């Protein structure tokens, strides 16, 4: 089962500036990209309507944006005041 899972959901190594938040966001971004591909293929194959596809993609985008905000990606680090 693991080989099939690795084939269907490949994960790439993270090569950016390491922080736990960046690593978590990278995993979320990879999942987003994978799911976008699935939705596009289902729509192209006629299994999803364009409207359903749009709704799914919009929900995925909102989820990714929420993840970015919760992880604090792109925001300046909190200043350390003692």
Q: Could you give the CA distance from residue 75 to residue 47 in angstroms, rounded to a whole number?
A: 39
- The average confidence (pLDDT) of the chain is 89
Q: Among candidates 9, 8, 21, 1, which has minimal Cα distance to 77?
A: 21
Whole-angstrom distance, CA of residue 64 vs CA of residue 25:
8
The residue-averaged pLDDT of 1-25 equals: 80
Residue 7 has pLDDT above 90, yes or no: no
- Within 17-79, strands assigned E span none
Q: pTM for the whole thing? A: 0.79
Helix (H, G, I), strand (E, B) or coil at 5: helix
């Amino acid at each position: 089962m693991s080989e099939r899972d690795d084939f269907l959901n490949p994960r790439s190594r993270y090569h950016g500036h390491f922080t736990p938040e960046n690593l978590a966001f990278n995993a979320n971004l990879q999942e987003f990209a994978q799911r976008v591909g699935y939705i596009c293929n289902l729509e192209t194959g006629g299994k999803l309507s364009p409207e359903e596809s749009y709704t799914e993609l919009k929900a995925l985008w909102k989820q990714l944006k929420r993840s970015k905000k919760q992880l604090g990606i792109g925001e300046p680090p909190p200043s350390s005041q003692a």
